[in-house]
């Protein structure tokens, strides 16, 4: 092939490659969908759909409302569909928004000036994070008092090298709601306490009670005031009296046995009285007949 023909083929190949490359980086990429916040105890993820193809990726930008946007360094040109923003939301009482940008894959350049993006709803960690279920211990006092010791759930936030609890974050805003009932009963009672040490008084003597605890933050909107419920725990019935420990059948059987014993005692007593009276009657008859026998001999 002449040299000019080789050059022509090479030029055409470069033109075709450049054409397809330009089509890739200059075309429009699919926008992210269903961009939502998922947050529990201040562990906060931004999530979205769909999983990207090999032709594009996602970048996450965030900002406090009204301030400049910045990128999360772990979520630049990523193929994931979630981004952990916990450490970026440093002011838990601020309101944040985020954008998920659809961009070319990592290492590919583009001449697009503004990439397609989808904005998240506003999110305030203090007002919107879900609160997980707490743990608690039951300490029984006298027969009518029980104290619950609640462990404040830990958050994903750090201060001075230690994990903070929800009490550290919410302070006096945090309360606890206790729902309790007698075991094997459907009737419930509720107590709200500002303390993690909750004393319940006026309980029925000797009864077992079951409890569930959840965080309560009244300063929030209604659908975010209550945290997740704890697993139920029940107190022991060790302090029940002897008669409370007996079943109805056992008590009825005891009463019947007692009545039977009383009947036996009464029957024996009646027999003894009759025998004594019969003996006295016989003796009196015998004593009255002796003079008549003596007069006949004279």
The residue to which tokens 């936030």 are assigned: 157
pLDDT at residue 65, rounded to an integer: 83
Q: Tens of pLDDT along 270-280?
A: 777 777 766 66
Instruction: Kindly state the greatest CA–CA separation across the chain.
Output: 187
Task: Report d(CA 208, CA 259) in Å as an integer.
Answer: 32
Q: Residue ranges per domain, the chain?
A: 3-128, 135-241
What's the mean pLDDT when you consider all of the chain? 84
What would the mean pLDDT of 217-242 be, rounded to a whole number? Answer: 87
Q: Three-state SS for 120?
A: coil
3-128 CATH pick, 2.130.10.10, 3.30.450.40, 2.60.40.10, 3.40.1260.20: 2.60.40.10
What would the mean pLDDT of 117-140 be, rounded to a whole number? Answer: 97
User: Please, which pLDDT band fits residue 184 given cuts at 50, 70 and 90?
Assistant: confident
Percentage above 90 pLDDT, the chain: 60
What would the mean pLDDT of 143-158 be, rounded to a whole number? Answer: 95
What would the mean pLDDT of 183-202 be, rounded to a whole number? Answer: 93
User: Please, which pLDDT band fits residue 247 given cuts at 50, 70 and 90?
Assistant: low
User: Please, which pLDDT band fits residue 215 given cuts at 50, 70 and 90?
Assistant: very high
Q: Tell me the fold of 135-241.
A: Immunoglobulin-like (2.60.40)
Q: Report which of residues 278 and 43 the model is more confident about.
A: 43
Q: Report which of residues 222 and 7 the model is more confident about.
A: 222
Residues in the chain: 298
Task: Report d(CA 150, CA 227) in Å as an integer.
Answer: 14
Q: Write the CB contacts of 201 (distance below 8 Å, at least 6 apart in sequence).
A: 144, 145
- Between the CA of residue 15 and those of 1, 20, 26, 110, what are the distances in Å? 20, 9, 16, 17
What would the mean pLDDT of 196-204 be, rounded to a whole number? Answer: 94
Q: Tens of pLDDT along 85-111?
A: 999 999 999 999 999 999 999 888 887
Does the structure show a pLDDT above 70 at 249? Answer: no
């Amino acid at each position: 092939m002449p040299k000019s023909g080789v050059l022509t083929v090479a030029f055409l190949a470069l033109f075709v490659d450049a054409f397809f490359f330009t089509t890739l980086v200059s075309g429009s990429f699919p926008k992210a969908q269903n961009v939502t916040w998922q947050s529990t105890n201040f562990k906060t993820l931004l999530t979205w759909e769909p999983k990207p193809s090999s032709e594009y990726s996602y970048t996450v930008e965030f900002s406090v409302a009204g301030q400049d946007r910045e990128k999360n360094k772990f979520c630049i040109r990523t193929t994931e569909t979630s981004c952990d923003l916990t450490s970026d939301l440093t002011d838990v009482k601020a309101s944040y928004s985020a954008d998920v940008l659809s961009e070319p894959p990592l290492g590919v350049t583009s001449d697009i000036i503004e990439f397609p993006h989808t904005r998240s709803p506003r999110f305030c960690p203090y007002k919107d994070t879900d609160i997980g279920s707490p743990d608690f211990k039951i300490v029984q006092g006298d027969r009518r008092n029980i104290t619950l010791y609640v462990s404040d759930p830990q958050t994903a936030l750090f201060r001075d090298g230690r994990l903070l609890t929800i009490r550290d974050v919410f302070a006096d805003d945090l309360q606890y709601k206790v729902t309790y009932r007698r075991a094997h009963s459907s009737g419930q009672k509720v107590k709200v306490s500002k303390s993690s040490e909750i004393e319940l008084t006026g309980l029925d003597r000797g009864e077992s009670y079951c409890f569930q605890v959840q965080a309560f933050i009244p300063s929030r909107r209604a659908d975010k005031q209550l945290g997740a419920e704890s697993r139920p725990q029940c107190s022991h019935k060790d302090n029940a009296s002897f008669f409370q420990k007996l079943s109805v059948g056992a008590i009825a059987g005891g009463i019947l046995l007692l009545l039977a014993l009383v009947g036996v005692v009464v029957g024996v007593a009646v027999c003894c009285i009759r025998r004594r009276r019969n003996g006295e009657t016989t003796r009196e008859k015998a004593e009255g007949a002796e003079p008549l026998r003596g007069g006949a001999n004279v």
